[in-house]
Amino acid sequence: MSHLLTDTGIIAGRYVRQTLASRLGVLFGLLQPLLFLVFFGPLLRDIDLGGAGDSWQTLVPGLLVQLGLFSSAFAGFTLLIEKQHGVVERLRVTPVSRLALLLGRLVRDVLQLFAQSLLLVLVGVAFGLRSPVAGVAIGFVLVGVLAASLASLSYALAMRVTSPQEFAPVINSLNLPAVLLSGILLPMALAPDWLDAVSHFVPFRYVVDAVRDAFMGHYGGTLALGALVALALAAASLGLGTRVFRKAGA
Partner 1 sequence: MPAAIRTAGLTRTFHTKNRTVEAVRGIDLTVEQGEILGFLGPNGAGKTTTLRMLTTLLAPTSGAATVAGHDLIADPRGVRKRIGYVAQAGGVDPVVSVREELTTQARLYRLTKPEAARRTEELAQDLDLTDLLERPCRALSGGQRRRLDIAMALTHEPSLLFLDEPTTGLDPGSRADLWQLVRRLREQRGMTVFLTTHYLDEADALADRLVVVDDGRVAAQGTSAQLKEEYGGSARAGLQDAFLALTGREAKRETERAPVAV
| Binding site residues, partner 1, CB under 8 A | 6-7, 10, 13-14, 17-18, 21-22, 82, 84-87, 89-96, 249-250
Phi, then psi, of 81 in degrees rounded to 5: -65, -45
Residue 149 CB partners (closer than 8 Å, separation 6+): 72, 230, 233, 234, 236, 237, 238
Burial class (CB in 10 A: 0-12, 13-18, 19+), 119: middle
Could you tell me the smallest distance in angstroms from the CB atom of residue 173 to partner 1? 21
Complex with partner 1: residue 14 or 218, whichever CB lies closer: 14
Evaluate whether 206 touches 226 at the Cβ level (below 8 Å). Answer: yes
* Least distance in angstroms from the C-beta of 234 to partner 1: 26
Element containing residue 218 per DSSP (H, E): none
Label each residue of 51-65 as H, E or C: CCCCHHHHHHHHHHH
Closest CB to partner 1 among residues 89, 166: 89
CB of 245 to partner 1, least distance (A): 13
Nearer to partner 1, 7 or 209 (CB): 7
Q: Which is nearer to partner 1, 20 or 176 (CB)?
A: 20
Task: Return the sign of the alpha-carbon dihedral for residues 6, 11, 15, 21.
Answer: positive
Give min distance, CB of 185 to partner 1, in A: 34
User: Which residue's CB is nearer to partner 1, number 25 or number 221?
Assistant: 25
Q: How far is the CB of 248 from partner 1 (least distance, A)?
A: 9
Compare residues 22 and 163 and give the one whose CB is closer to partner 1: 22
User: Whose Cβ is closer to partner 1: residue 94's or residue 172's?
Assistant: 94
CB of 5 to partner 1, least distance (A): 13
Q: Helix/strand/coil (H, E, C) string of 57-109? A: HHHHHHHHHHHHHHHHHCCHHHHHHHHHCCHHHHHHCCCCCHHHHHHHHHHHH
Nearest distance in Å: CB 227, partner 1? 35
Residue 131 per-residue DSSP state? -
Taking CA atoms, 69 is separated from 50, 54, 66, 233, in Å, by 24, 23, 5, 13
